[in-house]
Structure 1
Amino acid sequence: MGYYDIDDVLTDNAEIPCKFLHDIPGLGYLENNPGGSIHVNSQLKLPLWLARVLAIVEVAPEVDPITGIASEENTPFITLMTPEAFSIKVINAIKTDPVALDIHSINPQFYALAIKWIGLFGDRDLAEIVSELLLKRAQVINSHANSITISYKNDSINHNSKSMNNQTVFTLTLDEFEKKIFKQANESYKDIKKWMFQS
């Protein structure tokens, strides 16, 4: 992942639900209230790149001009709430049947978002769930990637139409990281089978 990685850019643009901890003048346009303020406890979805910064940067407490005492401790602008991709409903679906799950419909950059989220909060439970999910799905990805037939006559690759339809439906459920794994595994199997029939 890097500055020019499109998947990283798309992951950083994933919308994260946030709760504002302060009144902020001039940002009312985020709530379709141009010129107004965002008020304490307002909940909005912000892109991860912005939400991450606002959750880290702290606002200094107001100091009473008469007593000189601060009203409260430093607090960030917002607090991050759990995105839909890691909700209890999704986690339960992952635990129930990780292979049949349509990860792409949950989030096309599911694993990349999980890595960023785990890094932000050090969420070991989520890390274990996502690791187990990838392990179980990788076995099925590998199986689909290996479903290629080779013609003995001209050493060309022939795809069974039913197999191709199954692969197409299956790949639509993969997130972008899984698609890369599938493509690399598929190309490796093709190369191995070509080499075997040349011998």
Structure 2
Amino acid sequence: MGSYYNIDAILTDAQKVPCTFTLDLPNLGYLDENAGGDIKAQTSISLPLWLSTLLAVQRIGPSQAPLCTLDLPPSISPRVLNALKADPRTVDLRSLAGNFYEGAARCLELFEEEEVVDVLCETFKKRAAEIADHAHNPRGALGEGADFLRGLDEMERQLFRAAHDSSKAMRLWMGEMKRKS
């Protein structure tokens, strides 16, 4: 969980996660635009991450059953994971979730999905190398790399800015060193 004032944490918490309710819940139908007054058991609704997490950890009744169970969000569905395994550079992460990695990390705190963790780690490593290449080679970022850069999630955009700024600072420093010599 991020800082109270961190806009990325707020946006991450607002990402929708599919939940399946395990119990009948009277008078909570307003959570689902299609429901009447009650939510019936086995109803699936996409709720913001912050709310779905709270509901999933709440235990109720003598059986201590959770109010709902969580499913992996569409942004880390098997279809997306297969695309990331094939070539992570071709996937537009921004269209899946603006804060893709933060949302995935928050969801994976709730699930034990080692394969998903491995795929996301490999994805970040491969995409970080590509991001660094584009940050150091502006011609690539303006040409065929433009589509890739448009698909960066927020964390990758920050990485790009940091790599670009450090490359620029290094060129300036090298220029100053040459002048002093």
- Say yes or no: TM over 0.5: yes
TM-fit CA distance, 1:121: 1.7
Contact kept, 8 Å, 2:89 with 2:148, in 1: the verdict is: no
CA distance in 1, matches of 2:85, 2:147: 22
For residues 42 and 164 of structure 1, what CA distance do their matches in structure 2 show?
47
Cα distance in 1 for partners of 2:142, 2:30 equals 48
1:77 to 60, 67, 72: 67
Q: Which of 82, 87, 104 lines up with 1:92 in the alignment?
A: 82
The separation in 2 between residues aligned to 1:32 and 1:175, in whole angstroms, is 29
- Cα separation, partners in 2 of 1:114 and 1:33, compared to 1, 3 Å: closer
Cα RMSD over matched residues?
Answer: 1.7
The equivalent position to 1:134 in structure 2, one of 113, 124, 135, is 124
Consecutive unaligned residues of structure 1, counting only runs of 5 or more, are 62-72, 149-159
Secondary structure of 1:120's counterpart equals coil
Task: Tell me whether 1:13 sits opposite 2:3 in the alignment.
Answer: no
Cα offset for 1:169? 3.1
Residue equivalent to 2:174: 196
1:126 Cα deviation from its structure 2 partner = 1.4
Is the alpha carbon distance of 1:37 and 1:49 closer, same or farther for their aligned partners in structure 2, counting shifts above 3 Å? same
Larger-Rg structure: 1
Matched residues in 2 for 1:188 and 1:18: separation? 43
Residues 68-115 of structure 1 deviation map (CA, whole Å, 9 limit, x = unaligned): xxxxx2101100012101111001000001112111111111100111
Aligned to 2:152: 174
Instruction: Give, in angstroms, the shift of residue 26 of structure 1.
Output: 0.9
State whether residues 135 and 141 of structure 2, in contact with CA within 8 Å, keep that contact through their aligned partners in structure 1: no
Which has more helix, going by share of residues? 2
**Which residue identity is paired with 1:40?**
A
Instruction: Check the 8 A contact 1:26/1:34 in 2, yes or no.
Output: no
Secondary structure in structure 1 of the residue aligned to 2:119 = helix
> Equivalent residue for 2:96?
106
After alignment, is 107-116 or 25-34 more displaced?
A: 25-34
Q: TM-score, normalised by structure 2?
A: 0.90
2:55 — aligned with what?
A: 54
Please report how far the alpha carbon of residue 163 of structure 1 lies from its aligned counterpart in structure 2 after TM superposition: 4.8
Number of equivalences: 176
3-state DSSP of counterpart to 1:38: coil
- Change in Cα spacing, 1:34 to 1:78, as seen in structure 2 (3 Å) is closer
